[in-house]
Structure 1
Amino acid sequence: MTEQCSPCKQLHIFEYSNNVKIIIHIDSLALGNAIGGTRMLPYDSVESAIQDVKKLSSAMSLKAAIHGLNQGGGKCVIFNPEKLHFNEIAPLYTSALNQLAGSFIAANDMGISIKMINDIRHLSPFLISSNQLIDDPSYFTALGVFHCIQYITKNHLDTTIPNIKIQGLGRSGAPLCKMLLDSGFKVSAYDIKVSHVEQFKKHPNFSALDETNWFSLPCDIFAPCASGNVITNSNVHLINSKFVCGTANNPCENMAVINTLHSHHIQFIPDFVSNGGGLIYAAGTYHQLSRKEIIDKIKNIPKLISKLSCSSSNMYVNALSIANEKISSFVNES
């Protein structure tokens, strides 16, 4: 099933046996073919999966535009209520990609490892791994946030060793934590999986947090690195940090939360700015850029923060305006 949501937006639902649905949302093709990750999470319903994929694909459009990538935004989620192994779903997944004939280029995301994507690279030319075996884009997402935190520390904080609080020590949170600890930062962190925290406990600059105190504990920079919507209307008043800058997509529940952070003088680095490293790597790899070219581009992410923080207005609003203007200008020209 294909649903034309607007002149630019497309929702594709590929239905298979065992109630498996491959759901792909293309948010924009204005700047090029859409690119984005694929999630396989235990969604409660098809409706919640569709809601997630639409919100995530919109973030991909903004991310591609703000970072100057010649790509549109898209996302895929796999609705898998029978909990089939990805190996069973892979032929269906790659068939869906092939039917879209390149309008969507897929990477991995939550629930799908980089090994899974590399193992099926021969089944579709529309995977970011189709030209070569690739590394996990999550590492490069973490790398971009690391450079942002370094920039914030140097230019906006009155301490050389700030305390960074990380929520989530998974595929992007763990490498971010390691980079920070290796560079002398103090890190406190919480993860619902105790095993994720254990690997860092012996480091003298690391503090493990528990579920009773992690959210409201004071810090200089709060780095959400798990699922989205962690900062909500009901808990935003508990945030006790100077900056919010992490790897998570859509960490704020809605625009009202972002405005509240701004009114409380908490700088929210737009997620589609800070976490752009993964998409930069995915697009660069697909277009066969060198690793050095990709990393150099990721190292330039803090320049966007400098540009966006020149005025006292809401940084997120500024970034949103710049990204949407880029997308609109291409739409109007075409």
Structure 2
Amino acid sequence: MQSLHHDLGTPPAINASGKMTALGGSVLSDGVVTAMGEAARHHVVMDDLMAAVGREIGRATGTEDGCPTTGAASGIAIAVAAVIAGTDLSRIEALPDAGDAPCEVILPRGHSVHFGAPVRQMVALGGGRPVEVGSANKVTADHLAGAIGPRTAALLYVQSHHAVQKGMVSLAQTVEVARAHDLPVIVDAAAEGELRRWPATGADLVIYSGGKAVGGPTSGMICGSAAHMAACRAQYGGIARPMKVGKETLFGLVQALREYGSAPSGGHRPRMEKLAARLADLPGLTTRVVSDEAGRDIHRTELTVDPEAAGRDASELAAELAASGVYLRGHHAVTGRLAIDPRPMNPDEEEQLVDRLTALLDGENNR
């Protein structure tokens, strides 16, 4: 029997970019796949399952409760809707029209990111009006405090490699400002892996992707107090209805959370140092090992491309590799740098990556 990859004309990719939505998130463990198969074979009362999965999320994150979502993006919309409408059914059904309820969501300008869609749009889907403060590279606690008014519903903090890292107000300062004004803090920690770290900061609603660091199916979760999570689940009677999560995804998310708690993290530096050494002699490449720009426990092999020696610039090299099914991390391609993320690759895929880079760079120079 031919695989659906073959039938659909979508061959598997070699992902050296990271756990990216554009490349399908994570490759699932056998345990997660089995759990999803188990869910597929039975009916279940979905409200009961949602509550049970919320308890699992709470245990994994060290919070009172959780709310599963289809992803971190929908988590932002649901969290915003929850702080605006709470469990008031009339307000829930009126969203994204917030009416006379406080609906402004304040965020640092350097956190107004595009992660495949604008974070501002996710706020708006939940009925919020995003209010950016400060400058792209300079936001202080005073900027946040000065923007707070009678229509403020929450403060939003984006913990992400997409966000500006320099000159931004800290999460601790954000929580302090929020506490002084009796406002909740929403944290988008989509790709973060330290599940207990971010709720422990005092943030009220923390959002994670289930399909990235956690290693689950395409999914997400919100965690926080029991009251906030009840309000989040209530949004499934409103704007979250088209974002509902299937039973198979819920089972897969729970299994991934259970496996994640016992799985080792990090430890990529030695592997990346060996890879950097192997690639260092290829024409046009300078290699080194770099740590994650957002502070996660991730080490990558960075390739700096000399266009003259390599015969193409970094963007062109990345495009040639992508045409052969190999995807590098190209966040800094315009500055001549590409990166190889070890997390999604198995050893065989790493060898294929080396072979294809060698064929492109060394092969042409030996003709």
Tell me the TM-score normalized by structure 1: 0.32
Q: Which has the higher contact order (CA 8 A, sep 6+)?
A: 2
Question: TM-score, with normalisation over the residues of structure 2?
Answer: 0.30
